[in-house]
Amino acid sequence: MSHLPRIGRRGLLLGLTALAATRQARLAVAAPPALAMPDDRRLVVVIQRGAMDGLAALAPYGDANYRSLRGPLALAEPGRENGLLDCGGFFGLAPELRNFHRFFQEGSLLPVHAIAGPYRNRSHFEAQDMLESGAPERLSSGWLNRALEGTPPVPKGAPERGLAVGNDLPLLMRGAQPVGMWAPPRPVRPPPELYARMADLLHADPLIGDAVREGLRARGFAADALRGEPPARSGFVSLATSAGRLLAAPQGPRVAALEIGGWDTHANQNYALGRALKQLDEGMAALRGQLGPAWRHTAVLVMTEFGRTARANGSLGTDHGTGGVAFLIGGAVQGGRVVADWPGLAEGQLFEKRDLAPTRDLRAIAKALLRDHLGLPEAAIATAFPGAEGVAAENGLIREG
Amino acid sequence: MDTRPLQAAIRFGLGSRPDQALPSDPLAWLDAQIAGPDPEPPLPAGWPAPPTVPDGYRVLNASERNKRRPGQRHPADLHFEAEVIAAQAVRIDTAAPYRERLVAFWANHFTVARRAGYGAAVAIGPYLREAIRPHVNGRFTDMLRAVATHPAMLSYLNQSASVGPNSAQGKRTGRGLNENLAREILELHTVTPAAGYSQADVVEFARLLTGWGNERRKPPLGVVFRASHHEPGAKTVMGRRFEEGREATDAALRFLAEHPATHRFLATKLVRHFVADDPPPAAVARIEAVLRDTGGDLAAVAAALPRLPQAWNPPLGKLRSPADYTIAALRACGARGIASGRFAWGSTVRMNQSAWDARQPNGWPDHAGAWLGPEPMMQRLDWCYEVAGHFARLDPMAVLDTALGPLARDETRQALRGAGSPRDALALLFASSEFQRR
């Protein structure tokens, strides 16, 4: 049965003309015009939900108290079987982070240790909200969305500059700036005509209308960039692969957010954390593989809501803590060294005698990315991080030019 | 036309069914669902009686002894699936949908998730039957005590692994506290950070809870209190002193359950769930007063919610969560049986609200913003088309009358009439603004 779609005034409003005219199985919004982007810089933010143990991911094996404090969680020294991967003689990466170590050796990995946001109460949920809000309180928009306000306007018809990869839009990317979304495709999809009718029916809905409009646009774009992609592996590696493919496109998005879980290691940490680290490590390698030459212009921030207790708890795990580690990765990063004002692991040096004491503010790193990598003006950075006037952007994280 | 009977079925129930008449007296219909003991629990396929925690552990232990053939599913996965599918099937055809909504609300408040591993996964069915369902019309204190000492929760939030550092076991092995359960009871289940507790309170409460554990391998299987793991001495939680010993758990949980901050938190959550994303303060104050005046009687709360004037106006104020949305569509089509339960479960997985598998201990969010991302909304539209394919033999206008009746907009009726096929028409019904709300 042939049934012609009825694309009326509202369909036009939704930008669905191309869809109606072409009648292709793939949703295609108007082809974006060739863009003259000011430059090729890409920024990717990876949120590690659940609080990664920074002392496990990047172990300070050179600290005299490391072994006694960490006990069963202490890892073997570099060079030994399943030992740490050395980063300059004091810190070592967890053995699962093999690609991270390769990045370090070639100068494109920059770990920042003993770092935390401004929040000190050890609740995952409040801390994640503030990590993403970029403020000492929960806001309804995220700092990465507000940062997009400071980038040059996107030409009409072109895809959004920001992209959330995954099944959900994280708070980090919510806000006034439109962002695209991409999720792994599902097998059954309505024909484009029916999408158009659904959009027609929902266009005026104050809640749903916008989401459908953005969803259709994002799929139109994403379907274009991902055509011919081989079946990807599941989970984070697959998401990172797709993100890399989309970011590599000459007219693709320039800022992307991804999430990875599995960090809340209250028990049997050595095993549970190993799996999560391996996923992260392979995901970053996949991202780099897809980005190709664009890797040179890419910076990735890997961040988590807080660190974990310095000592093991009663079940070979760790409880919620404070200071941890963040990673900057990418060809644009001035890496190959560890940035840290190391607070020490002696009893009196720990925060509240239990957690790694934070000596750096995560917002200083994020601000530096906006200033030195995206080239945003001071005012735009202040909008992204309200109430952080006293936190100066860190210098020297990004390569010149 | 009086829309209240249909509103009751949509707002307080799981959506109307073609084979269930709408109630003539909505309040009496809702009240009747709260009265009396929990109806016969749903039985998972292959079980002559409801499986218990020891039954689940035996499945798990046997699977560790016997090697699986290549391609054979893990027996604990199969056991979990049988349970979760049976529970979905009940939601699809229950005649007491308000009661099921309350079960889902409290199960989400006290989240336990499959992703914590097989030990938790095989205990979730018994957890709902033993700790949640019997108390949805009982006292909050009793539900909290049942939850906090149930093997599913003890395993999910690692309490089984917490040892008092100065207990006999702690001294012998050097093992210590695991704060997870103590922290989440304070933060997520009872008083919340609004009550102003400190890290020291979390540690004291964790010390108080030591001893509670879980025997998975040797009989008697299930919950156990090990005095040898219990931290000696009195503990002080939020300024209240509790003596050493197992009895302190009951006393501390009662103290937390009856705390004014808990009543305020529960009232806010309940009103957000049943009334509006932004809970009207007057409605919250009313439910808070019921909790306070009745000592946390959840039957009184369940009776008070539909009597809030704010609960009826506007009629379709909340976006349906994916879990409730899928069930409502299946109910409108008159679906029933295990196959439908399996489809419903798979649908929750696809739409990012996997039944019994919330991502974090704070459970699924309860406001529209959480489900409104562009891609999730597209997946919802895709799902509409798929489910419509299963029921394309039905008369779409009849399904619309069952599901929305007088609440359907003219525009939606028009769209269904103009659709190219019954399948497209049904997909449009499920995609409509009205059907996506409750």
Q: In angstroms, rounded to a whole number, what is the distance separating the alpha carbons of residues A245 and B46? A: 47
Listed in sequence order, the residues at least 6 apart from A388 whose beta carbon sits closer than 8 Å to its beta carbon are A118, A134, A135, A361, A363, A367, A382
Statement: residue A32 has pLDDT above 50: no
Whole-structure pTM value: 0.74
Statement: residue A31 has pLDDT above 50: no
- Contact across the interface for B374 and A181, Cβ inside 8 Å: yes
Residues A101/A292, Cβ–Cβ less than 8 Å: no
Q: How close, in Å, is residue A207 to chain B by CA atoms?
A: 8
| Tens-digit pLDDT profile for residues A299-330 | 999 999 999 999 999 889 999 999 999 999 99
Statement: residue A161 has pLDDT above 60: yes
Residue A35 forms part of a structural domain: no
Picking from A359, A368, A239, A383, the residue whose alpha carbon sits closest to that of residue A307 is A359
Residue A12 forms part of a structural domain: no
Tokens linked to B189: 């289940």
**pLDDT at res. A188:** 65
**pLDDT at res. A215:** 86
Lowest mean pLDDT among A261-270, A392-401, B94-103: A261-270
Residue A25 forms part of a structural domain: no
What are the CA-CA distances from residue B428 to residues A196, A291, B108, B135 (Å)?
11, 40, 30, 39
Share of chain A above pLDDT 70, in %: 85
Mean pLDDT, all residues of chain B: 95
Q: State the total domains in chain A.
A: 1
Q: Which of A49, A190, A314 faces B177 most closely, judged by CB atoms? A: A314
Alpha helices in B110-259 (DSSP H): 118-121, 124-127, 140-148, 151-156, 168-173, 180-184, 199-209, 247-257
- With a CB-CB cutoff of 8 Å, which residues 158-197 of chain A face chain B? 164, 167-169, 174, 180-183, 186, 188-190, 193-195, 197
Lowest mean pLDDT among A33-42, A74-83, A128-137, B36-45: A33-42
Across B57-148, where does the E strand assignment appear? Answer: none
- Strands A180-182, A162-165: parallel, antiparallel or unpaired by DSSP? parallel
Backbone phi, psi, residue B69, to 5°: -70, 155
- Contact across the interface for A267 and B158, Cβ inside 8 Å: yes
Listed in sequence order, the residues at least 6 apart from A218 whose beta carbon sits closer than 8 Å to its beta carbon are A159, A160, A163, A180, A181, A182, B374, B375, B378
Residue A390 forms part of a structural domain: no
**pLDDT at res. A39:** 64
Q: In angstroms, rounded to a whole number, what is the distance separating the alpha carbons of residues A234 and A232? A: 6
- Contact across the interface for A188 and B385, Cβ inside 8 Å: yes
Mean pLDDT, all residues of chain A: 84
Statement: residue B1 has pLDDT above 50: yes
Statement: residue B411 has pLDDT above 50: yes
Share of chain B above pLDDT 90, in %: 88
Residue A341 forms part of a structural domain: yes
- Contact across the interface for B161 and A188, Cβ inside 8 Å: no
- Contact across the interface for B161 and A197, Cβ inside 8 Å: no
Domain ranges, residue A103: 43-185+214-384
Q: What ipTM was estimated for this complex? A: 0.86
Q: Domain with A284 in it: what CATH number?
A: 3.40.720
Residue A209 forms part of a structural domain: no
